[in-house]
Amino acid sequence: MTPAARLAAAIEVFASIESERRPAADALKSWGLTHRYAGSGDRAAIAGLVYDALRRRASSAFIMQADSPRAILLGMLKRERGLDIDAIGKLADGSKYAPEKLSDDECKRLETDDIESAPSYVAGDYPQWLDPYFERTFGDARAEEGAALASRAPLDLRVNTLKAEFSTVAKALSDLDPEPVRWSPWGLRVRLSADAKSPAIHAEPAFIKGMVEVQDEASQLAAMFSGAKPGEQVIDLCAGAGGKTLALAAMMQNKGQIFANDDDKRRLAPIHDRLKRSGARNVQVRSPKSVGGEIDDLSGRMDLVLIDAPCTGTGAWRRNPDAKWRMRPGALEQRQKEQAEVLDRAVTLLKPDGRIAYVTCSVLEEENGAQVRAFLGRNPSFAVEAPGTVTQALGERALVFSKAARLSGEGILMTPRLTGTDGFFVALLRRGG
């Protein structure tokens, strides 16, 4: 397929997402099944165009003064990919399989490209209804924070220290030109190509051998800040596919015991193969038949409960840009309820002097600081571990990190703009003796 044909296909897929209100991944898969002539490179390029358009949907529509799929895709080429009017005109020239030729008005809009007068939610490319929430968290910087959340995410990897040394893995992946991440001592970062195509990391021998896992740097830091130690009894209460469980196992050097639990057995399914590949031997997977049904025997036994809490996922928009446009106000209220429930559940599992690591991939105050304050109100025997103390796990990097991140009385907030990571919140809650 020509670049112009790929653009036309991306407009078609975007229209399907809009009209049928379906996830981008589903729409792209359906398009691929009905257009068998498109090769893997074509499908990847089309997906890149669609996801970039979702990233810059609001600002692209603003500069084009239209919110049609065509307008958003054309605006994205200017806003995200930096193409000039001539380059865009060559893609939309009305030739066979190409989008229709640019109109005079479209040319005028693309030449102007001015969002200085745009509201914060437009400049930041997030839904208008979320603006009061972003203002509570970020104040006057909300447009900049939103724009950073709309950027492309790199591919972050965690070196599995149970299997290999950092230098060994970096050498094994040298063909991908990986760079050490800024904060995590376990992290390597691979920059994506201009068309947003991600390398086939799952085909790399280092990955197959369990020497490396895909994990955003913020998620690595969340595991690190939990302070898990060799020999402890730990439960990953919302383990999902097991990314943080694997990081904890490496931190604990396979000593002690980790229980990986999730109320949804489907989310847990990938963890079994990942554990085998990683060499983690101190993990028990608990797959409950009912909520809490398979962990009752752990009550009062845990040194650490890690809660990767259900949340809106606003901090992970770089990796899932269509999620922000599908999010509805009721989702936030539901997630807050679930977070309170899982925090209260964690209390029953702790030893008298145990601790809870509360983690979200959200940037919203309602899910982070406010949730911690509400928990402390219900549980006065707990106190927040000073964030400045928690970050000491980074050693010599701690001071610079503490200046970059947002440290509050409740915890640590990371964002793409501040720390170059996904948006994550971490609070360490310690129970008094």
The three-state (H, E, C) secondary structure of the chain, written as one string: CCHHHHHHHHHHHHHHHHHHCCCHHHHHHHHHHHCCCCCHHHHHHHHHHHHHHHHCHHHHHHHHCCCCHHHHHHHHHHHCCCCCHHHHHHHCCCCCCCCCCCCHHHHHHHHHCCCCCCCHHHHCCCCHHHHHHHHHHHHHHHHHHHHHHCCCCCEEEEECCCCCCHHHHHHHCHHHCCEECCCCCCEEEECCCCCCCCCCHHHCHHHHCCCEEECCHHHHHHHHHCCCCCCCEEEECCCCCCHHHHHHHHHCCCCCEEEEECCCHHHHCCHHHHHHHHCCCCEEEECCCCCCCCCHHHCCCEEEEEEECCCCCHHHCCCCCHHHHHCCHHHHHHHHHHHHHHHHHHHHHEEEEEEEEEEECCCCHHHCHHHHHHHHHHCCCEEECCHHHHHHHHHHHHHHHHHHCEECCCCEEECHHHHCCCCEEEEEEEECC
pLDDT of res. 291: 55
> Does the pLDDT value for residue 289 go beyond 90?
no
Q: State how far the Cα of 151 lies from the Cα of 52, in Å rounded to an integer.
A: 8
- The Cβ-side half-sphere exposure at 426, using a 13 Å CA radius, reads 30
pLDDT of res. 195: 65
How sure is the predictor about 293, in pLDDT bands with cuts at 50, 70 and 90?
low
What average pLDDT score do residues 316-342 get? 94
Q: State how far the Cα of 179 lies from the Cα of 181, in Å rounded to an integer.
A: 6
pTM: 0.93
Q: State how far the Cα of 53 lies from the Cα of 48, in Å rounded to an integer.
A: 9
Q: Label residue 78 exposed, middle or buried (CB < 10 Å: 0-12, 13-18, 19+).
A: buried
Encode pLDDT of 117-172 as tens digits: 899 999 999 999 999 999 999 999 999 999 999 999 999 999 999 999 999 999 99
What average pLDDT score do residues 183-200 get? 84
Active site residues: 361
383, 429 Cβ separation under 8 angstroms? yes
What average pLDDT score do residues 191-198 get? 73
> Does the pLDDT value for residue 196 go beyond 70?
no
Q: State how far the Cα of 408 lies from the Cα of 138, in Å rounded to an integer.
A: 13
Q: State how far the Cα of 161 lies from the Cα of 14, in Å rounded to an integer.
A: 42
What average pLDDT score do residues 199-206 get? 91
Which residues, at least 6 apart from 238, have a Cβ–Cβ distance to it below 8 Å?
261, 262, 263, 307, 308, 309, 310, 342
Give the percent of the chain with pLDDT over 70.
98
Q: State how far the Cα of 365 lies from the Cα of 371, in Å rounded to an integer.
A: 8
The residue ranges of every structural domain in the chain are 3-118, 217-431
> Does the pLDDT value for residue 271 go beyond 60?
yes
Return the closest-CA partner of residue 386 out of 225, 236, 228, 247: 225
Provide the residue count of the chain: 433
Encode pLDDT of 203-236 as tens digits: 999 999 999 999 999 999 999 999 999 999 999 9
Q: State how far the Cα of 6 lies from the Cα of 4, in Å rounded to an integer.
A: 5
How sure is the predictor about 255, in pLDDT bands with cuts at 50, 70 and 90?
very high
Which residue did the predictor score with more confidence, 433 or 81?
81
pLDDT of res. 199: 83
Strand partners, 285: 260
One of 3.30.450.30, 3.40.50.150, 3.40.50.720, 3.40.718.10 is the CATH number of 217-431, namely 3.40.50.150
